[in-house]
Structure formats: structure tokens, C-alpha cells
Amino acid sequence: MKEIRLHGIGGLGTVKAGEILVHAAVMEGKYGNSIPFFGFERQGAPVTSFVRLDDKPIRPKNQVYHPNCVIILEPSVMNAVNVFDGLKKDSYFILNTKQSPEEIKVSDEVKTTACVDATGIALDILGRPITNTVMLGAFVRATGWVSLPRLEERVRELFGDKNVSALRQGYELTRIMER
């Protein structure tokens, strides 16, 4: 089972990103579940979403305590939350930043660091700093755990062609470093 923890702030689509990942996995014949955790329910407050993906039915419905992958939709969250908490060995760290993967300090458990300027891409394509679809593209590029065409299909259904373009740009412009 692959466990994913997404960190963002209210208004960036953190919870919706988790739901889209699960939907794409199910469309591929896999299993998945998505569990949101809001804390303060207001725009701009930290939001966490938990996702599990597997080839067989998934029983746990609780938070993810030991993720294989952490996705950061808004880098300022790293000042308020220990985003590396509980990370499994040889995990993925996917970050919205203008920095290169080589410039990012990560936990020893991280094997793959992926960086993309999701905010810049979202502003260019959508005219708003909503980074969820861009970060889903980065996730697919880094992990390959779900297919880009399935995500494109679901994103188009929910948000339209502009967000599909944002997803593709996230995929194409993600920079990856393996340790």
C-alpha cells in the first residue's frame, strides 16, 4: 500500500487533490481512500489530506502516520508543520517551490525530491494561485503511481481544460533528484 500525505492551506484544493488521486486510481482498477483533516476550517489555515492507494481493498480509514510520499502545495506550511514526521525510508518529497531539488534540505528518509513552481504555473494558466492540479502533475512525474491520462480525465470533468493544462505543465516542468 502507498500512503500519501498532502499539506496545504485552505483554498488551494489540498483535499480535492487527494480525492482526484483516489478517483484516478479507482478508474485504473486500483483501490484508494482519501481522508481530509481541516483543523481550523477557514481559507488560509493549514490543511492536511491523507491518501492510500493499493491493488487490493484498503481497510484503514484513519490518518496516515507513516507516508511513502509527502506533497507540499504551499511551502509556508513547512514553517508551521513538521512535514517529514513519520516519513518512511526511501520516500518521495514533492514541493511547490522555485528552488531546485538540490537546494532543498530534506529528511534522511527521502530518496526522491521533486520540485515545481506550482504557484507560478497556476498564476500563468489559471490566473489564481490554486496549485492542486499542478502538484498532481508533479506527483505523477515523480512517482508514476497513477497515470497522467486518468488524472487528466478527472481534472477535465471537475475543472475544465485550463486545469488540464496546469496538470500537464506541472508534469513537464517538475525537476527530480534521486539520492
What's the average model confidence in pLDDT over 7-26?
Answer: 93
Q: What percent of the chain is modeled with pLDDT above 70?
A: 96
Note whether 36 and 155 are within 8 A (CB): no
* Whether residue 94 has pLDDT greater than 90: yes
Query: What distance in Å separates the CA atoms of residue 146 and residue 160, rounded to the nearest whole number?
Result: 20
Rounded to 5 degrees, what are φ and ψ at 77?
Answer: -60, -30
pTM score of the predicted model? 0.95
Domain limits of the chain? 2-178
Three-state DSSP class for residue 121: helix
CATH of 2-178, one of 1.10.1740.10, 1.20.210.10, 3.40.50.1820, 3.40.920.10: 3.40.920.10
Report residue 58 as a C-alpha cell. Answer: 484498503
Report residue 157 as a C-alpha cell. Answer: 470533468
Beta strand 175-178 with 2-9 is: unpaired
CA terminus-to-terminus distance, the chain: 22
Query: What distance in Å separates the CA atoms of residue 171 and residue 141, rounded to the nearest whole number?
Result: 5
Using one digit for the tens of pLDDT, what is the confidence trace for 106-153?
999 999 999 999 999 999 999 999 999 999 999 999 999 999 999 999
Q: For residue 1, what is the DSSP state?
A: -
Confidence of residue 10 (pLDDT cuts 50, 70, 90): confident
